[in-house]
Amino acid sequence: MPSIKHEALRCLKCKNAQCAAHCPVSTPIPQVTELFLNGEIKQAGEMLFLNNPLSAVTSIICPHERNCNGHCVLGIKGTPIEFFRIEEYISRFYLETMEIPHIEKNGIKVAVAGAGPAGITMSILLLLRGYDVTLFEAQDNVGGVLRYGIPPFRLPRDLLDMYKGILLRLGGHFRPNTRLGSNIMIDDLFPDGYKAVFVSTGTGRPNKLGLLGETLGHVHFAVDYLKTPEAFALGHKVAVIGAGNVAIDAARTAIRRGHSHVTILHFMGEEDMTANRDEVEMAEIDGVEFVHYAQAVRILEDGVRCVRVNRIVDEEGKVSFEEDYSDTFVVPADSVIIAIGQGPGADIRSSGVKLTGRGLFEVNEWGETDTPGVFAAGDIVSGPKTVVDAVAFTKKVFTKMEEYLQNNA
How many Å apart are CA 185 and CA 197, to the nearest integer?
11
- Let me know whether 351 and 279 are in one domain: no
Decide the pairing of beta strands 335-338 and 237-241: parallel
Looking at the structure, tell me whether residues 213 and 334 fall in a common domain.
Answer: yes
Q: Are residues 50 and 122 in the same domain?
A: no
Per-residue pLDDT tens for 123-144?
999 999 999 999 999 999 999 9
Shared domain for 391 and 323, answered yes or no, is no
**Dist CA 243 CA 236 (whole Å):** 21
162 and 220 share one domain: no
- What confidence score (pLDDT) does residue 203 get? 86
Distance CA 372, CA 354 (A): 12
Contacts of 263 (CB under 8 A, 6+ apart): 237, 238, 239, 240, 288, 289, 290, 291, 331, 333
The pLDDT of residue 384 is above 60:
yes
Q: What is the CATH number of the domain that holds 189?
A: 3.50.50.60
What pLDDT is attached to residue 2? 75
CA dist., res. 274 & res. 244, Å (int): 5
Number of C-beta neighbours around residue 403 at 10 A? 11
Per residue in 89-121, pLDDT (tens digit) is 999 999 999 999 899 999 999 999 999 999 999
Q: How many of the other CB atoms lie within 10 Å of CB of 17? A: 23
Q: What is the pLDDT of residue 313?
A: 87
Domain boundary among 288, 315, 338: 338
Domain end call among 281, 312, 338: 338
pTM for this structure? 0.93
- 279 and 182, same structural domain? no
80 inside domain: yes
Q: How many whole angstroms separate alpha carbon 41 and alpha carbon 51?
A: 15
The total number of structural domains that make up the chain: 3
| CATH assignment of the domain containing 53 | 1.10.1060.10
CB-based contacts of 391: which residues, under 8 Å, 6+ apart? 24, 25, 52, 53, 54, 58, 117, 118, 121
Domain presence at residue 102:
no
Flag whether pLDDT at 176 surpasses 90: yes
Residue 351 has pLDDT above 70, yes or no: no
pLDDT tens, 205-243?
899 999 999 999 999 999 999 999 999 999 999 999 999
Share of the chain above pLDDT 90, in %: 80
- Do residues 248 and 370 both lie within one domain? no
Q: How confident is the model at residue 359 (pLDDT cuts 50, 70, 90)?
A: confident
Model confidence at 202, pLDDT cuts 50, 70, 90, reads confident
Whether residue 409 has pLDDT greater than 80? no
In this prediction, residues 327-354 reach a mean pLDDT of 85
344 against 323, higher pLDDT: 323
- Indicate if 219 and 333 belong to the same structural domain: yes
Q: What is the pLDDT of residue 258?
A: 77
- For residues 100 and 71, what is the distance between their CA atoms, to the nearest angstrom? 35
* Residues spanned by the domain of 216: 208-338
Average pLDDT over residues 30-54: 97
Is 22 within a domain?
yes
| Residues in Cβ contact with 156 at an 8 Å cutoff, skipping those fewer than 6 apart | none
Q: On the CB side of 7, how many CA atoms lie within 13 Å of its CA?
A: 21
103 occurs within a structural domain: no
Mean pLDDT value of segment 144-152: 95
Predicted pLDDT of residue 348:
66
From residue 136, alpha-carbon distances to 18, 161, 164, 189, 237 in Å are 38, 16, 13, 11, 39
318, 390: one domain:
no
Q: Given pLDDT bands bounded at 50, 70 and 90, which one contains residue 145?
A: very high
Q: Indicate the average pLDDT of the chain.
A: 93
- φ, ψ for residue 35, nearest 5 deg: -60, -40
What's the first-to-final CA gap in the chain, in angstroms? 53
Q: Where are the beta strands (DSSP E) in 294-400?
A: 294-300, 303-313, 319-332, 335-338, 342-343, 374-376
Domain membership of residue 104 (yes or no) is no
Q: What is the H or E stretch that residue 198 is in?
A: strand 194-199
Do 120 and 79 share a structural domain? no
CA–CA distances in Å: residue 251 to residues 78, 290, 385: 33, 10, 20
CA 197 to CA 351: how far, in whole Å?
12
Decide which of 304, 338, 372 is a domain's last residue. Answer: 338
Question: pLDDT grade, residue 347 (50/70/90)?
Answer: low
The pLDDT tens digits for 253-269 are 999 997 779 999 999 99
Are residue 238 and residue 334 in the same domain, yes or no? yes
For residue 87, what are the contacts with CB-CB under 8 A and spacing of at least 6?
A: 27, 32, 48, 55, 59
- Amino acid in the structure at residue 264: I
When pLDDT is averaged across residues 82-90 and rounded to a whole number, the result is 96
> Residues with Cβ < 8 Å from 321, sequence gap 6 or more?
267, 268, 293, 309, 310, 311, 312
